[in-house]
């Protein structure tokens, strides 16, 4: 998997000493080698999603609020 982030042209005029710099390009790229496991069982998918929501959302949002809104 390759993740690309922001990138931009960097002018030599941005540096204090312009005489010893050349144009360049700044970028950020990550190459990740991973093993992919396909999860097909609905209960496992739901459990994984709930675990992620609890971890990342802390107490900001819950799946219960979504289910309440859908009902």
Q: How many domains does the chain have?
A: 1
Where in the sequence is the domain holding 16, given as residue range(s)? 2-70
Give 38-48 pLDDT, tens digit per residue.
988 988 988 88
Handedness of CA 13, 16, 21, 24 (dihedral sign): negative
Instruction: Tell me how far CA of residue 38 lies from CA of 1, 4, 5, 35, in angstroms.
Output: 16, 24, 26, 10
For residue 71, the model assigns a pLDDT of 63
Handedness of CA 28, 33, 35, 38 (dihedral sign): positive
Which pTM was predicted? 0.44
For residue 41, the model assigns a pLDDT of 92
């Amino acid at each position: 998997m390759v993740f690309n982030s922001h990138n931009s042209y960097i002018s030599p005029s941005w540096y204090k000493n312009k005489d010893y710099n050349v144009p360049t390009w700044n970028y950020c790229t990550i190459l990740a080698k991973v093993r992919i496991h396909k999860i097909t069982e609905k209960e496992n998918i739901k459990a994984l999603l709930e675990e992620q929501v609890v971890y990342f959302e802390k107490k900001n949002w819950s799946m219960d609020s979504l289910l309440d809104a859908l009902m």
